[in-house]
Chains A and B, each alone.
Chain A
Amino acid sequence: MSAVTAPTKAPRLTRWIKRRLSSIVHDVKSNKISYLFIAPFGIFFFGFTLLPVLLAMGLSFTHYNMLEAPQWIGLQNYLRLFFADDVFLIAIKNTFVFAVITGPVSYFLCLVFAWMINDLQPRLRAFLTLLFYAPSISGNVYMIWTYLFSGDSYGVINGFLSYWGLIDKPIQFLTDPDWMMPIAILVTLWMSLGTSFLVFIAGLQGIDPTLYEAGAVDGVRNRFQEFMYLTLPALKPQLMFGAIMSITGSFAAASQIIPLVGFPSTDYAAHTVVAHLLDYGNIRFEMGYASAIAVILFLAMVITQQIVQGLLRNLDS
């Protein structure tokens, strides 16, 4: 049977491919100008964002030290990560705690402060927008927190605490495992009112005032009812976008922890997946292993995003 059908199938396949190809060529020709417009961005985006993700996935199945050619080792990197690398498990736990706290809290702060600021007069609104947004754009100004929390006698907070007689020896905020994570979260929250915050401010300003007037006529009594029944639904597109930025931010913020608490941190108490990735990628040059860490990080981000997007989409039902 197969001997009979094969010859007829093959030409059909090539004919199908040919037809497909010529239709693609036709598409490209008739939309040449559009493809020209998207090409420059597309080339660099593919080369330095998409291709690296694919490469990381491929490399994660290899042993690669940048000197010898990559060697295929199957799932060994992943098995080692989850079964033989205690530090990685600490990193996962820390990243999870960190992301679960900073992500939602920063999202909530962005929304609530944007909402409160939006009620003010334009001048005051512009000033407060700048004040809340500034820490996220001021480069490494967050390093000032190391002076504030420093464990020696020059640490400002320790200085005040001991001057007031509240402590008799300085608290090692940045090296004591009990303090490191809370401090890292505090500093991250401080500088997390970024793009989401601006998007919320802009979204709130774009809401038609007649919506509120109609709501007031319909019996909306106070600002919280107004917020829940009118503002939130009207802000849904911005809320979706803000969620993406907040989640990415909460995973990526780990790189700001490192200058704060040092690397490696005491007892790995503030060791995150990103820190682990930098350890193997930049210091030990175990590129295959580091790629496996990157892939895990990538999957964690994407899965979190999908869950949160799904939740938000069903918000009004």
Chain B
Amino acid sequence: MKLSIREKKVTRSAGGDTIVFILLVIGGTFMALPMVYTISQAFKPMNELFIWPPRFFVRNPTMANFYDLFLLMEDSWVPITRYLFNTLVITAFGTCGHVLMASLAAYALAKHKFPGRGVYFNIIVFSLMFAWHVTAIPNYLIMSHIGWVDTYLAIVAPAWAMPLGLYLMKQFMEQIPNPLLEAARIDGAGEFKIFWSIVMPNVKPAWLTLIILSFQSMWGETGARFIYTEELKPLPYALNQIVSGGIARAGTGAAVTVLMMLIPIIIFIINQSKVVQTMGSAGIDK
């Protein structure tokens, strides 16, 4: 069998290949099945959704669930386009702010020497170690104290300073050769000019990665903790309301899930090679 699916090497035996192949098939199937089932579910007509014994794959695919979803949306008190607009605003502001702030800070940390630089970076690495649950309550108190509850700032501002983004960006920027920056300095370029026209174009994979990471968290944001005005609530909140309709909404719910998961996955597919390139420099060298 010469239809090899990998490059030839002396350390690879046919027996080992078979084991790896079997493990990958099992793992891949386990990963894929729930998602395949979701997609299949979204295209099932009513009689197939509630058939017994249950059917995994759809027999007679239909768009009825998506059609129902749009009908439901038309009937909603706040138009669905408003929810979509809210999510787009949150995603755009959150992502742009994060990429810009993280890149600025990463540049100084990677390429400048100044007192406090080590402490600053160590605190960032340290904060990778705890989850948002720890800060949830005090965050709410702070937001209500400065009057940001029920505004997008309460969601967007903490996301601007996500430590993972700064960490990845700083590690990636260290690879930029210093002579390149020195040459620009000799030519009389200011630091902001260097940052914008030399550093940023050179770290494109890194900021694409930051965009993806930030996009994922902002796109799925339900705003449940901070947003109380119906007109300000983001799309996932509205869609969750539809899904929580229970078993009667099984089909529509699956349609919602398919739509919501499609966009982050498409964005990841487009940028996959750039993301992997960025992650390559993410190791901790000590």
Contacts from A to B (Cβ < 8 Å) = 27, 31, 33-35, 37-38, 40-45, 47-53, 55-56, 59, 66, 109, 112-113, 116-117, 119-121, 124, 126, 128-135, 137-145, 147-148, 152-154, 156, 159-160, 162-163, 190, 193, 195, 198-199, 201-203, 205-206, 212, 215-216, 220-223, 225-226, 235-241, 244-245, 247-248, 251-252, 254-255, 274, 277-278, 281, 287, 290-291, 294-295, 297-298, 301-302, 305, 313
Contact = CB atoms under 8 A, between A and B. Distances in A.
17 contacts: A44-B158, A45-B161, A45-B163, A48-B158, A52-B135, A53-B134, A109-B27, A131-B32, A140-B257, A142-B34, A147-B41, A148-B34, A202-B279, A245-B128, A251-B131, A297-B131, A301-B131
**Which 10 A-B residue pairs are closest in the complex by CB-CB distance?**
A237-B283, A252-B131, A138-B261, A37-B108, A52-B138, A52-B135, A202-B280, A163-B53, A55-B138, A159-B54
Contacts of B142: 47-48, 51-52, 55
Given A49-B135, A52-B139, A40 B101 contact: yes
B160 A44 contact: yes
Contact of B137 (A43, A119, A223, A294): A294
B105 A38 contact: yes
Interface in B192-249: 195, 216, 219-220, 236, 240, 243, 247
A274 B137 CA distance: 12
Contacts of B100: 40
A298 B34 contact: no
A292 B158 CA distance: 22
B54 A160 contact: yes
B277 A38 contact: no
Given A44-B160, A199-B283, A130 B5 contact: no
B24 A137 contact: no
Interface SS of chain B: helix, strand, loop or mixed?
Answer: helix
Interface in B116-136: 117, 120, 123-136
Contacts of B11: 212, 215-216, 220-223, 225-226
Interface residues of B, number: 98
B157 interface: yes
Interface stretch (B67-75, B77-85, B265-273): B265-273
Contacts of B141: 55, 66, 287
Contacts of A126: 272-273
B129 A302 contact: yes
Nearest to B32: A131
A21 B63 CA distance: 70
A40 B105 contact: yes
Given A156-B56, A240-B284, A144 B127 contact: no
Contacts of A240: 283-284, 286
A121 B5 contact: yes
B264 A49 contact: no
Nearest to B267: A137
B112 interface: yes
A41 B105 contact: yes
Nearest to A243: B284
